[in-house]
Amino acid sequence: MYTQCSNCATLFRLSAWHLRKARGLVRCCLCHETFDALPGLVDELPASIVERYPQVAAVPGQVPPEAAEPAGERPAAAQSADEDLFLQVPEIEAASVPAAAPAKARRRGGMLGWSALILLLVAAMVGQYAYVMREELARFPRLRPWIESLCSVAGCELPPLRDVARIRILDKHVALHPTSAGILLVKAVLVNDTGFWQPYPQIRFNFLDPVGDSRASRWFAPDEYLADSRLTEVAAGMPPQEPVSIRLELQGMGAAAIDNFAIDFR
């Protein structure tokens, strides 16, 4: 019988005794690679090799006489399963042997296949988690582009980024209306202190009287406090780091509230 080294492709002749004792695990005496001899095992060599190297098949299926072991004894060349067990067949090309693919290449291919499968499973789990938690994850500006890409494939929609706590008041002023009695004129400058566009907030004014009682206005929508030039941009949202002027007329508020008020957003 014959086998081939999975590392250096050298062809060797061996006996059934060696395979049985070593359980198929042997070591090449040339490159010292330990490999499984069984996958590449063949009973006979092709006729072309026998004609070219007649000494190879001089004793078919047996170890050459100079390597044969004494009857009933274990040869010195086979003291352990990882010792050199075979005699080299000289100068036989690896391509001439109809052996199976080397065991090492198959093992490497199997490991790559399992690694690819594990990566695919991990990617699928991450994708499922991102889809379920897309609204929460989309609140983070750094993650939002990735979630938007996921939704472009999955066909889902994301709510706009929103952080009203980051809307600052740069300037505010309340005064009596110059022409209408009993009306307060409110002017303020707001800025979206984030790095992204967000929807214009609703606004409410809280006025405190001299004894500390609070009196709140109703909530005002963006189209009620923005200038006409801004109304066409309401759908796009409040631009980041850009001052926005607002103006409102409040009825039923006394002059005492002019110097003591607060602005709420939602």
pTM assigned to the model: 0.45
Q: From the centroid of its chain, how far is CA 12?
A: 47
Between strands 11-13 and 2-4, the pairing is antiparallel
Question: Could you list the pLDDT tens digit for every one of the 266 residues in the chain?
Answer: 778 788 877 777 777 777 777 777 877 877 888 888 788 788 777 676 667 666 655 544 433 333 334 444 444 433 333 444 444 444 444 444 444 455 566 667 778 888 888 988 888 887 777 777 777 777 777 787 788 788 888 778 777 788 899 999 999 888 888 888 778 888 999 999 998 889 999 999 888 766 667 778 889 999 999 988 788 888 889 999 999 999 988 887 666 667 778 889 99
All structural domains of the chain: 2-99 (no CATH), 105-154 (no CATH), 164-265 (2.60.40)
Inter-helix orientation angle 103-132/144-154, to 10°: 100
Residues 156, 127: Cα–Cα separation, whole Å: 13
Question: For residue 145, how many C-alpha atoms fall within 13 Å in the half-sphere facing its CB?
Answer: 2
Please report the DSSP string for the chain in residue order: -EEE-TTT--EEE--HHHHHHHTTEEE-TTT--EEESSTT-BSS--HHHHHH-TTTTSSTTS--GGGPPPTTS--GGGSSTTSB--EEPTT--GGGS-PPPPHHHHHHHHHHHHHHHHHHHHHHHHHHHHHHTHHHHTTSTTTHHHHHHHHHHHT---PPP--GGGEEEEEEEEEE-SSSTTEEEEEEEEEE-SSS-BPPPPEEEEEE-TTS-EEE---B-HHHHB-HHHHTTTTT-BPBT-EEEEEEEEES--GGGTTSEEEEE-
For residues 39 and 35, what is the distance between their CA atoms, to the nearest angstrom? 10
